[in-house]
Structure 1
């Protein structure tokens, strides 16, 4: 017969202690190893396999901790017994060695071994039996020092932080403006999706402003890192995880710094970076050097843009969806069905460059997008040298960025690019090439390109014997 709800022990009058579960085997050291791998830039699955646990467990640890290490990564000091030492104690104890002999072999004090054998021994069955796994598990539980965070203790400070982070927006008359209703889904907001409206101060702004608003109150101080930890790490008891939606990034999980430094594409080597581009490209003296990019539209549709640096002559790439494409559907590890995958972009560029004279196909500068993963094959097909900009440096393709801004007059954000045919894209490019430009002395890009081609033709005729 089961015990009724609220049952208490007769001796103490308190509810019985909840079982902590099955003892783990050196869990702390395993978790430290996991977070060290995360800090080195490994994915959650790879880090889990590297530290000897199952693959699905790694993402679970990462999500529960909000992407931040919940334990210190410093190696344990020699003051405390390690798991390997506890294994040695269990083996020597099984061989019936005395406490002083075990202490002598381990280089420890006899009192340390004596306390370990009593304090962390397994008590199941009414006898004291020393097992290394149970002893390590008990030691880790006893070493936990749950400390209430400053934000959880100081309600005034907590209210201040929460108001600056997620406070309601108000009009000039003080009336609350709720903004869009956005449910919390436990992950980052989608692209071009509604965002939660709030005061949305950054944690650093909140931390610095406290010093001005409360100059004489030392209790009203908190670092921006403590605010991030209160948001991302579960169990802090101060701020709810859904308030992450009020951060500028809107991330539900914090991204380790090592991962952000590895965002460069693996197909790009140092020889292909823009720093290796010859000086003649930068001074725009020689035609035939191009800049390219994609303009993304609704439902992941896209068109490609190519701009010649000297004349600003523009060509548009038609990138229709592949056969069988379903808007909104995604095939994991499958081809880019939307039409702007590496193969589609390579073929479209090669087809456009083939329509130009050979002297106008010298080089192409692109950003580090995955659509240029087949740049080596593109170089073979067109003879163009491919260069890549540095990460997050669009100004290194300033001509192309300016042209994309002009094209937004015809293709504003939110446009479904897949509805346009190649004939229509060519018409837009011809229209842009027929506009006079101040930088060209009010000539049009088409006139500037024809002048260069005529001069090159005249030079070849004059030098022919």
Structure 2
């Protein structure tokens, strides 16, 4: 009965309905105890307490992850009293894999449930994950209060460690605080707190690292794999992709930004050398004209021109994600748009001669061009619909 209840909840049935199905609806404490002893995942408040993200493909695998069938074999072996060595041999896995699996997913009651282990593994793979401070608003509020009083992240981390030496959930390292301020826009702390630090820096300065160059610059940057799922399906507007269009011998350039859902284009006027400060200044000036709900994120490649990405994140309150090296298809909307822009910004030409007004005219022409992907509406019309709806 207990196993049946756990299985039903893991498959997406609400706990209330599952209790009725197994015949324990009259005693509410029993299914609650079963779920707790099994080490159950947190249930959502809606739908009478159901798993918020149940597994859809129970037969599918991710990389080298254990399958549901293998986890069922582990459950059966443990209940039959088999050794871990025997279980590992039966599923053709190493004993260390079985040992880690049992240790990771065995509940407080000592039982291992295959469906629950599969559900927990599925949820642990979700990206992006909430930061520790996002999961603990009370802790974030304490840190914000101390920083408003001039405390340094190191002092805050030390005091939290002294207060709770054995409670890791109630404390954070100073690195976690710095990451929330400089790397993870909206990572659980107010972004203006960076100005409360004694240095008053809006960007963190790396020190004494053996990693140099662009690799060091983007060491703490957000990767494209960390983008929310809503970016990929284009269902939510406000996610942008960007790059530089280069002129003859790479001596001149124009910055391009395209919104993924409407294909609306913004061109950045970069008549001087495209240093990180110049690109950041132009991007902040252009995108600040947009309402907040239309600048949710930016995706760029790992070029030196966006080395001031943390400054962009702080001013626009929008995270900047970086595509993997040598992977232009990960910014497909931007690559397609750049090909269209070559009608005006031809390869091998000198792009420094274009004025800001001329670039705005080119952008207007492209934004007024009907697009098959928009059911032959123009990007300008699509963006205007979003502004009117807001």
Q: Normalising by the residue count of structure 1, what TM-score does the alignment of the two structures yield? A: 0.37
**Structure ranking higher in helix proportion:** 2
Structure with higher Rg: it is: 1
Taking structure 2 as the reference length, what is the TM-score of the superposition? Answer: 0.45
